[in-house]
Amino acid sequence: MLEEKVVIITGGTRGIGLETVKLFKENKAEVILFGSREETVKSAVESLKEEGMKVEGYFPNLNSISEIEKVIKEIYDKYGHIDILVNNAGISANKKIEDTSSDDFSKIIDLNVNAVFNMTKAVVPYMKKNGGGVVLNTSSMVSIYGQPSGVGYPASKFAVNGLTKSLARELAPFNIRVNAVAPGITNTDMVANLPKEMIEPLIKTIPLGRIGEPRDIANAFLFLASDMASYITGVVLSVDGAARS
């Protein structure tokens, strides 16, 4: 479904990001993963190599537009095109507001919102140059329903939805589609680190009776990245087992 497409996936060293890397490789894409640290990027690249998947890895500071632009240019100069960007890097939060410092809040916004802006800003000129592309963002079910604590996380994902819907309208004339996937509770280490008293009541609201798997979310990204979704833009696609708050 993605043969000869060049794809960049942030947060690609674990969880949903790593599963998306694998699925996109299975569908013949040329994938470049971004991670937060050199050691995690090298580990992911080596692990994928052992599975027979050749993937490049980088670890730019996603809050440095100059650093990102340098890496994006390097990738473009090597491949001649960048077709798909998956903005997946992010962090969660679970503290009550009185226990959340301004620095805590800013850290979440920096990675979950500003990094999405920076990556998209750096990639869009190359997509325009080549006649189109696809930008996909990782949102969350809490961007629709909120959550009982950790206000910075849903606030950041509300912002991701706004970026997605607005950029879809701005970039549509250039044949650049912008969509988001809003996962429900998914079996990743990020969720594993959340307290049971937050997760267990939420699982009971899922009509399908289970939490999602990373492949469930990766499948949604694959669909939206492919030509099967060529007339879909500005959508925040819920992948949550019909969970509702």
Q: For every residue of 185-211, which 3-state class applies, written as one string?
A: CECCHHHHCCCHHHHHHHHCCCCCCCC
Alpha carbon distances (Å) from 124 to 12, 91, 150: 20, 24, 32
Handedness of CA 123, 126, 127, 128 (dihedral sign): positive
Helices (H), ranges, the chain: 15-26, 38-50, 65-79, 102-109, 115-129, 142-145, 152-171, 189-192, 196-203, 214-225
> What is the model's pTM?
0.94
Mapped onto helix, strand or coil, the DSSP state of residue 216 is helix
Catalytic residue among 58, 76, 126, 153: 153
What pLDDT shows up at residue 197? 83
Regions of the chain with pLDDT less than 70 = 190, 244-245
Q: Are 143 and 113 in contact, with CB atoms under 8 Å apart?
A: no
Q: Are 172 and 123 in contact, with CB atoms under 8 Å apart?
A: no
Distance CA 84, CA 30 (A): 10
What pLDDT shows up at residue 198? 76
pLDDT digits (tens, 9 = 90+) for 211-221: 899 999 999 99
What pLDDT shows up at residue 244? 66
Distance CA 134, CA 83 (A): 6
Among this protein's residues, is 231 annotated catalytic? no
Q: Are 89 and 36 in contact, with CB atoms under 8 Å apart?
A: yes
Query: From the centroid of its chain, how far is CA 215?
Result: 14
Which CATH superfamily includes the segment(s) 6-238? NAD(P)-binding Rossmann-like Domain (3.40.50.720)
Distance CA 70, CA 59 (A): 12
